[in-house]
Structure 1
Amino acid sequence: MRSELLDLILGLLPDTHPRPELRAFYAMLRDYPQRGGKGLRSELLLLSAQAHGARQGTPQWQSALWLGAVIELFQNWVLIHDDIEDDSEERRGKPALHRLHGLPLALNAGDALHAYMWAAVEQAGVPGAYREVLTMIHRTAEGQHLDLDWVARREWDLSEADYLEMVQLKTAYYTVIIPLRLGALAAGCLPSDAFTPAGEALGSAFQIRDDVLNLLEDAGNYGKEIGGDLLEGKRTLIVLHWLNAAPAKQRAVFLEQMALSRADKDPARMAEVLNWLRQSGSLDHAQDYAAQQGERGLALLREALSGAADPAAVANMLGLARSYVTREA
C-alpha cells in the first residue's frame, strides 16, 4: 500500500481516548491496515485515474487517493469478517484478529471499519462513487455467500463453472472491476463497459493463482497459511478438477475429512490429500486456465484503454495486472 494511502486511513481512524478499553479498540481498527499488503487494488485504481487524465497534485488526484483508501478499508473490514467466517489462523503472517481478541471484539472492529470506509467515500466527493461501492459490496457478498454456503452444506457436487461464477463475484469486482471504474470516475470520466469482462477474466486468473499458491510447498512471500484452503474446505478449481478423476479411495478419504471441522481433521490424512493434489495434473490445469484468462483479460483491458489520456499509465497498469495474474512462488 502506498504510504499516502495509509496516512489517509490512519488519519481517518481514531487513535486516542481517555478510556483504556477504547484505546485498545482503536488499536484493533488500525491493526490490519498497519500489517501492510501489496496494495494491488488501490494501485489499479490510482493508475486508472492517471490513465484517464488525473494528475498528481490536483483535486482529482486527491479524490483518487481517497477512493484508494476506500478500497483498502473495504478489503480490511472484509478480511476481518472473512477470517472469522473461515476460522482462519493467520493474516499477513500474524494471528488473525479474532485469534488475538476473540470473535465478538474482532467482528465489532470489522463493522467499525466498514463505517469508516463510508466516511472515506464522503471525503472523496466523487459523483457516482457511492453506487460503485455499493455494487462492490453486493457482488462480493454474493460470492462470499456461495463460498460459505457450499461449505455449510458440505456441497462438493459442483462444476468448474460454479467455481468461476463464485470467484467472478467474490474476487473480480473488488479486485479489478470497481477499482478501474472508480479511477475513471475520480478523473471525471465515464468508465468503460469493457472493464467488466476484462475484470472478470483478470479476477478469475488472480484468484486461481492464489489458490495454486496456497497448495505449494514454498510459496515465497505468499503471506497466508500454506494448505489453509484445504483445512477450511475451500472449493477451488484445483480440487473440483481433481475430484472428477480421483481414485475412489482417495475421493472417499477426502470427503470423509471434509465432513469434519477444521479442528477435527486428521493432520496425517490431510497431508496425504495435499500430496495427492500436488502429484495430480490439477495444479497444471488450473495454472493453464489462469494463464488463458489472464491473457484474455489483459487484451480486453488494453483495448478498452486504447485511447486513454496517459498511455504510460496504461502500460504501468497492464504490467501490474500481468505481474499478479502470472505470479509464481
Structure 2
Amino acid sequence: MTGVAALTLPGAVFETRLREVLRSRVEFIELIGEDLVAAGGKRARPAVTFLAAQALGAGPQDPRWDAVTDLGVCVELLHSASLLHDDLIDDADTRRGQPAAFRRFGNVVSVMSGDFMLSRLLTLLAAMPQGPALTRAFGEAASQICEGEVLQFQVAAYADYRLEHYLDVIHGKTAALVELAASAPALLLGAPGAQRGALATFGREYGMAFQMRDDLLDLTGDEATLGKPVGGDLREGKATLPVLHLLGGPHGAEVREVLERRAAHPGDVGRIRELAWSQGAAERTREEIRRRAELAVQALEALPPSGAREALADLARHEIDRTR
C-alpha cells in the first residue's frame, strides 16, 4: 500500500480493546473470545474502517479516535459472530488453523457465543456519537448477511442458478460488511453525504471483487498456493460466476449435472476447471473482477487525496491479480 507506513491500522491497541470487549464471567464464552484474539488474522475489515476514517481526516490524535477504534471492534465482532454461525452451518472442521468452536464446545455454546458478540457490539454502538444511525446501519448489514446465507442454500436446493441470485448472495455474505466497514466512519465523523456514499460504493464494489476473486480461485487456483483443495463450491452445489458463465454455454447441461450431484464423481472438479479455462469463463470472471475493482477506485475520487485514500485504492487493485 502506498504510504501505508504513515497510516494507523489495527494493532496492539485494537487487540487490547477487542479482548476487553469480549470479557465474560462465563468461561466457555471467554475461551472462544480468547481464541478470536489469539488467532489474529489480517483484521481486513477493521483495517478498512481505520483507513476510511483517516481518508476523512481523522487520526490517532483526534479526540474521536477511541470511537473509531470501537467502530473497528464492532465490525470485527459482526464478522466473527457470522463466522461462528457459518462454521456450524457449513460443518467446518477448522477456522484459522484451529478446530472450529462448535467442534470444541458444541453447537449451543458456539451459537450463543456468536450472539454474545452481537450483544457486545450493540452495547458499544449505543455509547457512540451517532449511535442510533450506526445501530441502524449495523442492523441492515446483519440482515443482508443472513439473507445472503439463506439465499445461497435456497438456490442450491432449487437448482435455481441465476446471475442475479449469485450477485445477491455475494453482496449479502461478503460485500455488505465491507460496505459497512467503509461507510460507518462517515456516519461517526459526520462527513458529508457524498463522501459517505463514495465510501459505501467503494466498500460494495471492493467486497464484490474480493468474493468473485475467492470464487475464481476456488475453481482455478493453485492448491499449493491456496493451502487447500479447489472445488469446494462445486461440492456444495454453489454456482459461482465462472460456473454461471459455463451454464450459459454449449456445455451447460453437463455443468448443471455436476452441480446437482455436487461434484460427487471422480474427475468432476477437474472437468469444470478445464472448461472454465477453455471456454473463456475464467477470463470473463477476471474481467468482471477488474471492472468492480476499478469502480471501487473511481468512487474514492470523491475524497481528498491522501495516503489513506491511496491505501484503500490499493486494496481494490490487489483483487485484480490476487493468487491466494
Is the pair's TM-score, using the shorter chain for normalization, greater than 0.5? Answer: yes
Q: Which residue identity lines up with residue 303 of structure 1 in the other structure?
A: E
The separation in 2 between residues aligned to 1:318 and 1:14, in whole angstroms, is: 35
Q: Could you say if the C-alpha distance between residues 75 and 171 of structure 1 is closer, same or farther in structure 2, counting changes exceeding 3 Å?
A: same
Superposed CA deviations along residues 256-291 of structure 1, whole A, max 9, x for unmatched, are x23xxxxxx74xx2x522112221233332222111
RMSD of Structure 2 on Structure 1 (CA): 2.4
Superposed CA deviations along residues 11-50 of structure 1, whole A, max 9, x for unmatched, are 11226x5xxxx32331023323432222221111111111
The TM-score, its normalising length taken from structure 2, stands at 0.84
Aligned with residue 199 of structure 2, among 195, 204, 207? 195
Aligned with residue 9 of structure 1, among 13, 18, 38? 18
Aligned to 1:319: 314
Aligned with residue 303 of structure 1, among 269, 285, 301? 301
Q: Which residue identity lines up with residue 8 of structure 1 in the other structure?
A: R
Correspondence list, 1:86-101, <5 A: 86-101=90-105
Q: Could you say if the C-alpha distance between residues 100 and 283 of structure 1 is closer, same or farther in structure 2, counting changes exceeding 3 Å?
A: farther
The separation in 1 between residues aligned to 2:310 and 2:254, in whole angstroms, is: 50
The separation in 1 between residues aligned to 2:61 and 2:140, in whole angstroms, is: 29
The separation in 2 between residues aligned to 1:120 and 1:106, in whole angstroms, is: 22
Matched, 1:42 2:13: no
The separation in 2 between residues aligned to 1:9 and 1:218, in whole angstroms, is: 33
Q: Could you say if the C-alpha distance between residues 147 and 171 of structure 1 is closer, same or farther in structure 2, counting changes exceeding 3 Å?
A: same
Aligned to 1:25: 29
Q: Is the 8 A contact 1:93 1:224 kept in 2?
A: no
Q: Could you say if the C-alpha distance between residues 185 and 327 of structure 1 is closer, same or farther in structure 2, counting changes exceeding 3 Å?
A: same
The separation in 1 between residues aligned to 2:37 and 2:128, in whole angstroms, is: 19
Q: Which has the larger displacement, 111-120 or 203-212?
A: 111-120
Q: Which residue identity lines up with residue 294 of structure 1 in the other structure?
A: A
Aligned to 2:4: none
Q: Could you say if the C-alpha distance between residues 139 and 159 of structure 1 is closer, same or farther in structure 2, counting changes exceeding 3 Å?
A: same
Aligned with residue 185 of structure 1, among 183, 187, 210? 187
Q: Is the 8 A contact 1:84 1:98 kept in 2?
A: yes
Structure 1 unpaired stretches of 5+: 259-264
The TM-score, its normalising length taken from structure 1, stands at 0.83
Aligned to 1:161: 164
The separation in 2 between residues aligned to 1:112 and 1:100, in whole angstroms, is: 17
Superposed CA deviations along residues 130-164 of structure 1, whole A, max 9, x for unmatched, are 2221121122222222112223xx23232223211
Give the deviation of 1:99 after TM superposition: 2.4
The separation in 2 between residues aligned to 1:32 and 1:230, in whole angstroms, is: 29
Aligned to 2:135: 130
Give the deviation of 1:51 after TM superposition: 1.2
Q: Identity over aligned residues, as a percent? A: 28
Query: Number of matched residues?
Result: 306
